[in-house]
Structure 1
């Protein structure tokens, strides 16, 4: 009997795995992963003392230690166990990747499908080579549909994650200029994200696609797909779309005509995320009234497209992540909103590699083209490239920006706060 089969028998008995002794409950299987700054093997004995059922280790010193299950590589074993578990489950697994909107789309799909099914989905941002196995192994036994978010910042990563999660349904939210440092170019991003399509094609899976996105349509080729969007080929379609600031639209499917949906999401750019969820709901037989109920009750969190009314201003907080594509979408949407005083607070975009300077210069040009007149910038990415213009104020970091906002508060404004996670722009909201 090989290691994975033996481990799986134990897993079926206890049903829980962990990689963190601080979050361990008695009876759990502990996987001693290695990181840049730690080695989980050093915590194996501590985990056993705390009541874990088994410690999976790869340190030779622990090979004969009671309670330890020695393997050549702990991470590989975790991934193989998750794949083995997935192979035993006869349920739909929906794979989601894309440059922007993955997490919001995942949560919206979960909200819709929960109206009829027991759904398990990626918690937080556990979407990498460790997070995907943990997502699969933490599924409750009653799960009827799983939704697995897949992130990537280098080639072959999506392909590897598909090899673990084995999705039989999937969608790419979009392809934009994100993680250029790891992918090298926009073509590299397309190839990397397209690994989900390639897996689904090879295994006869269902592909859901935004019919308004020519890049995705070119990537999928002649393989049959299920479409959503505003075009005539969409099975699930939106008309009369508006965002002032909350997104609303009329929903059309094979079963309903013009069902008005009023979401609590800011921005036209969320339309595609919402329609993706409606499309999966339609495919899995969720009644449109229940789809409406799920979409209208969903409230974004974690600094993603949040609409906040402070004592002095209205704030759109979209500070979880940023890349050139999502930044431009946010700016265009903000430009369309009606308000007497609009203020931009923009943080630098990370992981753009050699394209960083040119992309930040292009961003400034776009801001000037859209004629925004009050703009605050933070981050070293903007150092030395902002024009000498009273409209633009630059701060090397968020702390200095925060101090400036305290000294000279903004009032009676609609404010867009947008930047990469590293800027921690959510910290300024209390001063707006």
Structure 2
């Protein structure tokens, strides 16, 4: 019996995995992962003292230590264990990636499938080389379908995650100029995200695709797919779409025609995310009435497209992430919203590499075309592109911006807050 098979026997007894001694699950297997500033091997005995069943280590000094299970590489062992567990579970796994909307799409898919199946899906943002195995290993025994989000900022990462999760169904939400620093170019983005299609093609999996997206259609090539969108080749369609401000549309499938669905999501850009979920639900036989119920009940969270009121203003908070594509979608939505006083709070877009200056200059040009009272900019990315005049004001960081907003005492406004996660723009809400 090899190491991973033996380790799997211990895992079946325990059913739980821990990687952080600050959050130990009693009886779990502790994986002594390494980071830039820490070595989990140093905490193996602490984990055991805290109640772990076994510590998986790769420090040769711990070979033979009581309750320590030595492997050549702890991370690789975690990934191989997750892959084995996924195989043993033998259930459909839906892989999701994309430049924008993958987390919302993942949650929507989980919501509609949960109307008929026991579903397990990526919690929070555990979508990388550590998060994906942890997600697979935390699947409850009763799970019948798994929805796995896959994130990447370099070519080859999605391919690696596919080898762990072994998806037999998948979709790419879209491709855009995100993480250009790691991907190198838009072509690099398409190559990286397309690794999901490559895996599904190689293994005879099902591809769900937005038929209105020419980039995705080209990436899929001649491989058969299941389409959603507005085009004639879509199995699941949306018609009479509006967002005023909540997204509403008429759903048509092979089973129903023009079923009205009114969501709690803002913005026309969420139409593709909702249709992706409806398409997956349709394939897995979830009745449209149940799909409607799930979509209408879903509420966004975690600073994604949240529309709410403070004591003084109406806030559209979309501060979880930002890139040129998602910025444009947010601005288009903001333009369509009716309000006599519009204010923007915009944070810099990260990881754009050599394209950063040009993309922030383009962003300023797009904002300038809007009808708004004032735009607050924050982050070093805007330093050299702030226009003259009093409609734009710039601050180096969010703390300085927050102080300025506190003094400004803005009232009676519709405020769009949008920026990359690193800006922590949600922190300014309390002074609005």
Q: How many residues align?
A: 432
Partner of 1:404: 404
- Residue in 2 aligned with 1:167? 167
- 2:195 maps to what in 1? 195
- In structure 2, C-alpha distance between the alignment counterparts of 1:134 and 1:264, rounded to whole Å: 30
Note the alpha carbon deviations across 1:22-76, whole angstroms, 9 max, x for none.
2222210100000001110011011111221110000011011110001110000
In the alignment, the residues of structure 2 paired with residue 283 and residue 90 of structure 1 have an alpha-carbon distance, to the nearest angstrom, of 18
Q: Check whether the contact 2:122–2:147 (CA below 8 A) recurs between aligned residues.
A: yes
Residue equivalent to 1:36: 36
Alpha-carbon distance in 2 for matches of 1:26, 1:341 = 54
Question: Aligned pair 1:314/2:321, yes or no?
Answer: no
Equivalent-residue separation in structure 2 for 1:230 and 1:393 (angstroms) = 40
Instruction: State whether residues 341 and 373 of structure 2, in contact with CA within 8 Å, keep that contact through their aligned partners in structure 1.
Output: no
After the TM superposition, list the runs of 4 or more consecutive aligned residues in structure 1 that deviate by more than 6 angstroms. none
SS in 1 for 2:250: strand
1:371 is displaced (CA, Å) by 4.5
Q: Is 2:82 aligned against 1:51?
A: no
Q: Which runs of 5+ in 1 are unaligned?
A: none
Asked if the contact 2:376–2:394 (Cα under 8 Å) also holds between the matched residues in 1, the reply is: yes
Residue 369 of structure 1: how far off its partner (Å): 2.8
Deviation digits for residues 212-250 of structure 1 (CA, Å, limit 9, x no counterpart): 111101110010000111111111100111111111111
User: Matched residue of 2:269: which SS?
Assistant: helix
The residue that corresponds to 1:226 in the other structure is: 226
Alpha-carbon offset, residue 372 of structure 1 = 3.8
| Residue 373 (structure 1) shift | 4.2
1:236 alignment partner in structure 2: 236
Distance apart, 1:430 and its partner CA: 1.5
Q: CA deviation at 1:389?
A: 1.8
Q: Per the alignment, in what secondary structure is the counterpart of residue 117 of structure 2? A: coil
Structure 1 position 13, deviation (Å): 1.2
Secondary structure at the aligned position of 1:268 is classed as coil
Aligned to 1:302: 302
Q: Distance in 2 between matches of 1:236 and 1:389?
A: 48
Q: In structure 2, what is the equivalent of residue 384 of structure 1? A: 384
Superimposed CA distance per residue, residues 349-375 of structure 1 (whole angstroms, 9 cap, x where no aligned partner): 001111111110111111123344421
2:153 counterpart residue number: 153
Match of 2:353 in 1: 353
Cα shift at 1:384? 2.1
Query: What is the CA distance between 1:177 and its match in structure 2?
Result: 0.5
2:424 is equivalent to residue 418 of structure 1: no
1:49-198 alignment runs, 5 A limit: 49-198=49-198
Per-residue CA deviation, residues 148-183 of structure 1 (Å, 9 max, x unaligned), is: 000001010000000000000000000010000000
Unmatched 5+ stretches in structure 2: none
**Post-superposition shift, 1:421?**
0.6
Q: How far off is 1:412 after superposition? A: 1.4
Alignment check: 8 A CA contact 2:99 2:178 kept: yes
**1: CA distance, partners of 2:25 / 2:18:** 9
Q: Distance in 2 between matches of 1:94 and 1:424?
A: 31
TM-score by length of 1: 0.99
Q: Deviations over 1:105-139 (max 9, x none)?
A: 00000000000000000010000000000000110
What secondary structure is seen at the aligned counterpart in 2 of 1:45? Answer: helix
Is 1:365 the equivalent of 2:365? yes
1:198-217 pair list within 5 angstroms: 198-217=198-217
